């Protein structure tokens, strides 16, 4: 989805963007006026992937908004687990959910090694069964606030 990001340092912070901005998004200063070599922007592989294309994975995204252009590094995050078809199961104050959209910008961690084909075939039924369990009632959800 996002092949790469640009990372640069400015005003004492590491800043990640899709391209080099004219102004620093943190302080508003000229982003390119006085870069030293060690502060020069570098291109890095993007850790952001479409969670709906990640099979059998742990996926993480901001609770509100998106990682790119909106996330400030301190807002709440939300997690889910994807099925073999990219359906994301997650839990919040209204209970468990299955989403086919909304997890397009995630950090993903595969949960099933590729050589465990037998588990891949059972993954969706386990996920469906687990998400229907009694302990996922909305009243048990704790937001941490
Ligand atoms: Zn700055």
Domain boundaries, the chain: 4-45, 51-140
pLDDT in tens, 75-102: 999 999 999 999 999 999 999 999 999 9
Residue 23 CA to ligand 1 center (angstroms) comes to 8
Q: Which of 2-11, 31-40, 114-123, 126-135 has the highest mean pLDDT?
A: 126-135
* CA 18 – ligand 1 centroid, Å: 16
Question: How many Cβ atoms sit within 10 Å of the Cβ of residue 145?
Answer: 4
Mean pLDDT for the chain overall: 87
Residue 48 Cα, ligand 1 centroid: separation in angstroms? 23
Distance 47 CA to ligand 1 centre (A): 23
- Tokens read off for 108: 């993903």
Reduced to 3 states (helix: H, G, I; strand: E, B; else coil), residue 13 is strand
- What 3-state class would DSSP assign to 40? coil
| Ligand 1 center from residue 27 Cα (angstroms) | 4
Residue 145: what pLDDT? 46
For residue 7, how far is its CA from the centre of ligand 1 (angstroms)?
13
* SS3 (DSSP) at 112: coil
The pTM of this model reads 0.75
17 near 10, Cβ under 8 Å?
A: no
Instruction: Please tell me the predicted confidence (pLDDT) of residue 43.
Output: 92
Q: Which residues face 10 on adjacent strands?
A: 13
Neighbours of 92 (CB within 10 A): 13
In percent, the amount of the chain with pLDDT more than 90 equals 45
């Amino acid at each position: 989805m996002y092949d790469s990001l640009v990372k640069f340092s400015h005003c004492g912070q590491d800043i990640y963007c899709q391209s080099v901005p004219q102004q620093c998004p943190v302080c508003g200063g000229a982003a390119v006026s006085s870069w030293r070599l060690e502060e020069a922007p570098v291109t890095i592989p993007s850790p952001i992937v479409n969670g709906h294309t990640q099979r059998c994975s742990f996926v993480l995204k901001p609770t509100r908004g998106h990682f790119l252009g909106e996330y400030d590094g301190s807002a709440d995050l939300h997690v889910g687990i994807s099925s073999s078809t990219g359906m994301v199961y997650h839990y919040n104050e209204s209970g468990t959910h299955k989403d086919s959209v909304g997890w397009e910008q995630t950090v993903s961690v595969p949960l099933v090694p590729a050589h465990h084909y037998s588990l891949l075939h059972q993954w969706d039924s386990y996920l469906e069964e687990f998400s229907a369990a009694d302990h996922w009632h909305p009243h048990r959800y704790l937001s941490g606030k």
